[in-house]
């Protein structure tokens, strides 16, 4: 993007503000993680990575440590169209260590639930320099939320619309009036 996606603004609201409101509508406790999280001054607790510079996997690790391993729902600030009903559905599964959406061969590991059984395996991956989130998935029980399940809440391509490029941002801004961010 060439800039911090969390600070992108549409209709006087940043992506971070949109996502914070969405998370607060679903969860009692919301925390921020990321290399620039302290600069946002949101009033939310900020998680410091115990493995700095190791990417989002270190953020998931920090969140599990901070919550005492109870389990966490993780989402990127660049996915503003994920419906809250889908988030609740993902969080409603308790029969796996990870609950993650899957569209064909593609996973959405930054819109997933990680429970306490993941903590030692994530820690081991980080110590071994394996920073890709999915690197440890074969060592835990994973529940995949299918495209069919996701379709009950929104078209999958809309639900997981991810803002990664200036073109994605322009498309999002053009579509914003027609899409409900509060779903």
Residue 9 lies in a domain: yes
Residue 183 lies in a domain: no
Residue 106 lies in a domain: yes
Alpha-carbon distances of 140 from 18, 95, 97, 131, 183, rounded to whole Å: 32, 12, 6, 16, 31
Q: Are 118 and 100 in contact (CB under 8 A)?
A: no
Residue 27 lies in a domain: yes
Residue 160 lies in a domain: yes
Give the pLDDT confidence score for residue 27 in this predicted structure: 94
| Dihedral sign computed on CA atoms, order 58, 14, 25, 148 | negative
User: Percent of the chain, pLDDT > 70?
Assistant: 91
Which residues 6+ apart lie within 8 Å of 149 measured at CB? 89
* Mean pLDDT, rounded, of the chain: 88
Give the pLDDT confidence score for residue 48 in this predicted structure: 85
Predicted TM-score (pTM) of the model is 0.89
Total domains in the fold of the chain:
1
Q: Which CATH number is 115's domain given?
A: 3.90.550.10
The burial of 43, by beta-carbon neighbours within 10 Å (0-12 exposed, 13-18 middle, 19 or more buried), is given as: exposed
Q: Are 44 and 82 in contact (CB under 8 A)?
A: no
Structural domain span for residue 63: 5-178
Question: pLDDT truncated to tens, each residue of the chain (183 aa)?
Answer: 677 787 777 777 788 888 999 999 999 989 988 766 666 777 888 888 889 899 999 999 999 998 876 789 999 988 999 999 999 999 999 889 999 999 999 999 999 999 999 999 999 999 999 999 999 999 999 999 999 999 999 999 889 988 888 898 888 888 765 554 444
């Amino acid at each position: 993007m060439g800039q911090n996606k969390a600070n992108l603004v549409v209709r006087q609201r940043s992506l971070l503000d949109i996502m914070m409101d969405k998370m607060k509508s679903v969860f009692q406790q919301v925390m921020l993680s990321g290399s620039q999280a302290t600069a946002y001054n949101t009033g939310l607790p900020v998680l410091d990575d115990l493995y700095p510079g190791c990417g989002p996997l270190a953020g998931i690790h920090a969140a599990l440590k901070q919550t005492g391993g109870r389990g966490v729902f993780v989402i990127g600030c660049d996915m503003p169209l994920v419906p809250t009903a889908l988030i609740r559905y993902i969080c409603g599964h308790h029969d796996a260590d990870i609950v993650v959406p899957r569209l064909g061969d593609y996973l959405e590991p930054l819109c997933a639930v990680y429970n306490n059984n993941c903590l030692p395996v994530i820690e081991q991956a980080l110590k071994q320099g394996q920073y890709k989130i999915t690197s440890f998935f074969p060592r835990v029980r994973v529940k995949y939320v299918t495209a069919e399940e996701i379709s009950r809440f929104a078209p999958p391509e809309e639900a997981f619309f991810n803002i990664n490029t200036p073109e994605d941002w322009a498309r999002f801004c053009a579509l914003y009036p027609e899409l409900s961010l509060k779903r």
